[in-house]
Amino acid sequence: MKKCIKYSCILLFAINSLQAQEVLTGLHANETIRQIYENTDALHQKTISRFIEHKAISLPFIEDFSNYTTYPDTALWIDIQAYVNQSFAFNPPSVGVATLDAVDKQGKIYPHAQKEAFPADSLTSRPIRLDSIFYPFPKALTVADSIYFSFYFQPGGGIGFPWAKLGDAPESSDSLILEFGYYSGDTILAYYSYKDFLLFDNYTIGDTLYSPCDHSLFIIATQEYETGDTLSFPCDSVMMMETIWKRVWSTPGMSLQSLADSLGRDTNDMLFQGVMIPITDSVYFNKGFQFRFRNYASLEYSENNPTWASNVDYWNIDYIRLDRARNFADTIVDDVAFSVNPGSILAHYQAMPWSQFKNNQSGEVKQNMAVKLSNLSAVVKNTAYVYYISDTTGNQINNYDGGSYNISPVLSSGFQNYPAHTFPPVTVQFPTDTHSKAEFIITHIFKEAGSGDKNPKNDTVRFTQSFSNYYAYDDGTPESGYTVINVFSDRTAMALRFSLKNADTLRAVGMYLNHVLDDANMFEFTLTVWADSSGWPGRVIHSETVQPEYNINLYGFQHFYLSKAVPLSGKFYVGYQINTKNYLNIGFDQNHNNSQHVFYKTGNYWENSFLSGTPMLRPYVGRALTPVHISTSDKSSFALEVYPNPANNLLNISLPEHINKQDVIIEIYAINGQKVYRGDGAASINVSTYQTGFYTIKAFYKETQQISISKFVVYH
């Protein structure tokens, strides 16, 4: 991967050694997107109709992605490929952006991805009525209404030193494209809808399998199937109005550094480029006007290193506006906003154990928060800023009022620097209790004084301060992958330093393991705990061999439960050792720099990391944990029992005692093989609405990949 090669060269120059190398990669999959997609996919399937007709919306269209994350808002958008987030942009106009990259709506690298530029994400608006407006009075729209479309964009790649840059920059052969569309008046095939069916026979490669719901549709088996397997069949043709698309703007790939240089801006400035486009073609003035952003991306990796084949070529989009009565000089947004979420109020961590914090609050809380505020208008604005902290029941335990202040425009003066607003003091004393964990909500409000604020949704940001049983330097979102390599031997190691206020017991370690090509992360390594030796990892106080097991239920973090409790006090280090020719790729949070606590080793001596960011590794301390783990469970025993049989109202489900029901997926199929139910391993399922007849119930145990099938009868 080109980016990784660049980082490697920088390291060789910086430490003058070919043995010690840290490497940053992209992400082969965006786990946050993938998990939310899987949780909502069933809902999407249920809402498929035979004809797609998106309800049109009226002017104005304003979107700055400030009050939600993950998928674009369905009130404004019709696809879900772009990633709405607060992590990937550098100095955006307002908090939250939509990121287009090389992963699909499930957070996976596109199957057609290649080293040459390929079409990747799309961000497509709902139809917008450019034929008429209805407020303050009905009126037909024409070119004379002076309708303009504007937005801000930013390429990835960060700014500053190479080891501190955020995200991957699009190559010159990549591009970001804007297209306008309009209805042609014709109806076309959108796609076939699919439904899952249980197979009651065996099939080999090349067999024809006809759809149970439409025998004119069929698929050709590309692999062998056995009785009990589940297969999706096409069941209905879904039609839609045809849209004609025209390219109206594009830009080739570039780095954020090159964009900043061309604009003459630095790290205190808004590092987004504005674009203004008039709509003058009469063909767009109808009920079906749409716009969409698309990007072309290209993978960058070495053929012999699948751990580097990862997400690349980021484009961030913010503050889209489409409205009438504008002109070419109307490039300024009349708004004040948060640029980023201030995040945690802890001085050293993003999260820490409640047992370690509640009686040692002094020194663990920041003296001041860092708040980035912007005035997007062209004139000075009188603004007010406050924040307050409340518990999960809504009771306020602390509040701060920064008063009012005149803030200059960000485009001419950079972000606000008034300390009462941008560096507010933290004076909170959290209430102590006997509970093992706690959560508090930090709410920030920044707005134009009085009632003049035109976009209030970007004036409030919230952060949940978690106190559980683990330490976290990271915020849970990886912007890159972190790997330690050794070109001369098989020995590598990485350690992350933590510090206890009170003596405690280490019970488990969480790691964010990146999904990489060919499951190259799936190898045994030695999980290790070191004592402190004058600020460096010292003697080994615990080590054990572990096998990674991707756990989709824990938000990408794999949890390794230690075979025995490890007593700790003061400073300690948690990480891994590898003595085979394998490279472990773990998540890397580039928004929080803790390089002073990161150490790696490829020879006899430890090196301190100089990469700006944090490897995503978390130690769990405190009370004993009693997880159900593959290594301690009876993997050979997985049998599903249901009763009563026949069932009339409730069908009870019995699973082995050692199995966590949340680790089991239950599916029920009618006699024709059609799936009628899918859910987690509940104790019972209501079948009162099922028709009388025979049914098949299928249980899938995610930890061991085992399947158990039973049959039952519904009789009313």
Q: List the beta strands (DSSP E) in 225-372.
A: 230-252, 273-278, 290-297, 315-323, 336-338, 352-353
- Give pLDDT, residue 10: 31
Residue 590 carries which DSSP code?
A: T
pTM of this prediction? 0.77
Position 701 in a domain: yes
- Give pLDDT, residue 13: 31
Rounded alpha-carbon distances, angstroms, from residue 367 to 337, 372, 427: 24, 17, 8
Residue with tokens 């998928």: 71
Q: Own/partner pairs for 73-76, CB < 8 Å, 24+ apart?
A: 75/126, 76/125, 76/126
| Cα–Cα distance for residue pair 572/671, rounded to 1 Å | 59
Q: Which pLDDT tens digit goes with each residue over 332-370?
A: 899 999 999 999 999 999 999 999 999 999 889 999 999
Position 65 in a domain: no
Position 377 in a domain: yes
Q: What 3-state class would DSSP assign to 306?
A: helix
| Cα–Cα distance for residue pair 356/349, rounded to 1 Å | 12
Position 371 in a domain: yes
> Within the chain, what is the greatest distance between any pair of CA atoms?
79
What residues in the chain have per-residue pLDDT under 70? 1-20, 23-51, 162-164, 301-310, 451-452, 515-519, 549-556, 625-637, 672
Q: What 3-state class would DSSP assign to 11?
A: helix
* H-helix or E-strand spanning residue 41: helix 31-46
- Give pLDDT, residue 262: 92
Question: Bridge partners of 69?
Answer: none
| Cα–Cα distance for residue pair 506/19, rounded to 1 Å | 32
Position 284 in a domain: no
Residue with tokens 């700006």: 612
Q: Domain limits at 222?
A: 188-239
- Give pLDDT, residue 150: 97
* H-helix or E-strand spanning residue 152: strand 148-155
| Cα–Cα distance for residue pair 600/606, rounded to 1 Å | 6
Residue 282 carries which DSSP code?
A: G
| Cα–Cα distance for residue pair 240/248, rounded to 1 Å | 24
Say if residue 136 is preceded by a cis peptide, omega within 30 of 0.
Answer: yes
Residue 116 carries which DSSP code?
A: S
Residue 8 carries which DSSP code?
A: H
| Cα–Cα distance for residue pair 356/318, rounded to 1 Å | 40
Say if residue 60 is preceded by a cis peptide, omega within 30 of 0.
Answer: yes
Instruction: Locate 437 and state its tokens.
Output: 């964990």
Instruction: Locate 669 and state its tokens.
Output: 């199929």
Whether 574 and 565 have beta carbons less than 8 Å apart is answered as no
Domain count, the chain: 3
Position 494 in a domain: no
| Cα–Cα distance for residue pair 481/308, rounded to 1 Å | 9
Position 531 in a domain: no
Q: What 3-state class would DSSP assign to 341?
A: coil
End-to-end CA distance of the chain: 62
CA dihedral 698, 701, 702, 703 (to 10 degrees): -170
Q: At 435, which CATH number?
A: 2.60.40.10
Q: How many residues does the chain have?
A: 716
Among residues 424, 446, 468, which one ends one of the domains? 468
Closest to 495 (Cα-Cα) out of 589, 353, 602: 602
- Give pLDDT, residue 3: 33
Q: At 709, which CATH number?
A: 2.60.40.3080
Q: Residue type at 478?
A: P
Among residues 438, 468, 498, which one ends one of the domains? 468
Position 259 in a domain: no
Among residues 429, 448, 468, which one ends one of the domains? 468
Closest to 618 (Cα-Cα) out of 500, 519, 473: 473
- Give pLDDT, residue 16: 36
